[in-house]
Amino acid sequence: MTESGAHNPSAHLPRVTIVEEGMREGMQIESADISVDAKVRLLDALSRTGLTHIVAGSFVSPRWVPQMKDVDELLRRFTPAPGVTYTALSLNHQGELRKAEHTPPLSPPDGVGRSMLHLCDVFLQRNTARTLEQERVAVAETIERAVDVGVSSAIIAVNAAWGSNWLGAFSEEQRMEALAFQRDAWMTAGIPTTGVYLGDPMSWNTPRVVRAHVRHVIETWPDLTSVHLHLHNGRGTAPLSAYAALHELDERHELIIDSSIGGMGGCPYCGNGRATKMIPTEDLVFLLESEGIDTGVDLPALIEAAHLAEEVVGHELYGHVSKVGALPSGQSLYAMDMPLIETIAEAQHFRLGPGTYAGGSAPWKSPITSVHRDELSARESSPTGGEPE
């Protein structure tokens, strides 16, 4: 980076942390018949990509989420990778006890308190069998437990932040009131809030409303240092919304983005099923790297994990980069004499080689050549890289 940062596109952007949700958010909406063997293969593959935070599953009742019935066995059998934080969702005390039995390989509590309020009472009842009133009362109970274990900071959250499939859109005032209620409660207990979590289970996010809310939050509480986005992609706007949030923050902040390998995901209680989707992790990594943000993730390995995920779930998933690869350059530029490419299977030549299109139609009568390609090859083969000595 230069001293001014003028030539580094990421110089004034926030730190970005990717939270991989495929094994939890993704698997909870897929078939309950997927074998533990297959899940172990996928979790191990994700662990080898350079991702630093993976949500491995959830400790919930198999009556309501049968896809998580084997989470204990999965956590006993997979191979943890050094440097990776593994977490799991739990919604009650019993779930916390089960989670503790698997710590490690799950990471120990991070010492940060967390509270959440929903804006949609319909989703809250369908998803957790609670009312809004019960949830507000529970905030005080959550803070009491946090004080007892000595947490030093807290994150406040609002779920169904931008809208509900049953109630319609929510206002900025509703979002801020829900956050302020929690912030005041934590402050009264002497615990500062350092971050916000914004959940969108029903895909109501758009770049405009996400940008406006992130800006309002940071301007209202400038001491906040992290923003955590859990955006569903049912209407195709989640990557755009995350990008908008990225550019509302700066080097003082951390932006945490939940994503899922292949984009799989969705809550069975929100009315959209698998169509709810998530931001595909491979697409998110490509986008961030294109913005000059080093994710530390091995994108080719992540692409292979996306194809493994399709094999595991038994159907095509929703990512883009896994279908066409990263931008080709140098030796990865496409062969000029390749035949017509029509199918997604044929397009996999970027990772599987020319065998994917062997025998394809090539209607041109003479070889395809390029003066510019020849010049590029000459520069690459030059000892000085084509630069004057």
Residues 213-258: pLDDT tens digits? 999 999 999 999 999 999 999 999 999 999 999 999 999 999 999 9
Position 3 confidence tier, pLDDT thresholds 50, 70, 90: very low
What residue spans in the chain does CATH classification 3.20.20.70 cover?
Answer: 15-324
Per-residue pLDDT tens digits for 130-172: 888 999 999 999 999 999 999 999 999 999 999 999 999 999 9
- The size of the chain, in residues, is 389
Domain 15-324 grouped into CATH 3.20.20.70: yes
Q: What is the pLDDT of residue 296?
A: 96
C-alpha 182/C-alpha 156 separation (Å) is: 6
Q: 321 and 283 in contact (C-beta within 8 Å)?
A: yes
Omega within 30 of 0 (cis) for the link into 104: yes
- Which residue, 273, 298, 271, is CA-closest to 286? 298
**Element at 277 (helix H, strand E):** none
Q: Cα(first)–Cα(last) distance of the chain, in Å?
A: 25
* Orientation of helix 299-313 relative to helix 281-290, angle to 10°: 160
**Element at 305 (helix H, strand E):** helix 299-313
Give the Cα-Cα-Cα angle 235, 199, 158 (nearest 5 degrees): 140
Looking only at the bridges linking them, the beta strands covering 254-259 and 15-20 are: parallel
Position 7 confidence tier, pLDDT thresholds 50, 70, 90: very low
Q: What is the DSSP string of 64-128?
A: T-GGGTTHHHHHHHS-PPTT-EEEEEE-SHHHHHHHHTTTTTSPPP-SEEEEEEES-HHHHHHHH
Output the furthest CA–CA distance in the chain (Å, rounded).
78
pTM of the model: 0.91
Tokens read off for 289:
């790297």
C-alpha 18/C-alpha 257 separation (Å) is: 5
- Which residue, 168, 242, 157, 156, is CA-closest to 202? 168
Per-residue pLDDT tens digits for 268-290: 888 888 999 999 999 999 999 99
Q: What is the pLDDT of residue 95?
A: 76
Exposed (0-12), middle (13-18) or buried (19+): which is 366, by Cβ within 10 Å? exposed
Per-residue pLDDT tens digits for 335-367: 888 999 999 999 999 999 999 999 888 888 888
Q: 157 and 195 in contact (C-beta within 8 Å)?
A: no
- CB-based burial, 249-286: b 16+ in 10 Å, e otherwise: beeebbbbbbbbbbbbbbbbbbbbebebbbbbbbbbbb
Q: What is the pLDDT of residue 10?
A: 62
Q: What is the pLDDT of residue 298?
A: 97
Tokens read off for 248:
């509302």
Q: What values do phi and psi take at 167, rounded to 5?
A: -115, -15
C-alpha 138/C-alpha 129 separation (Å) is: 13
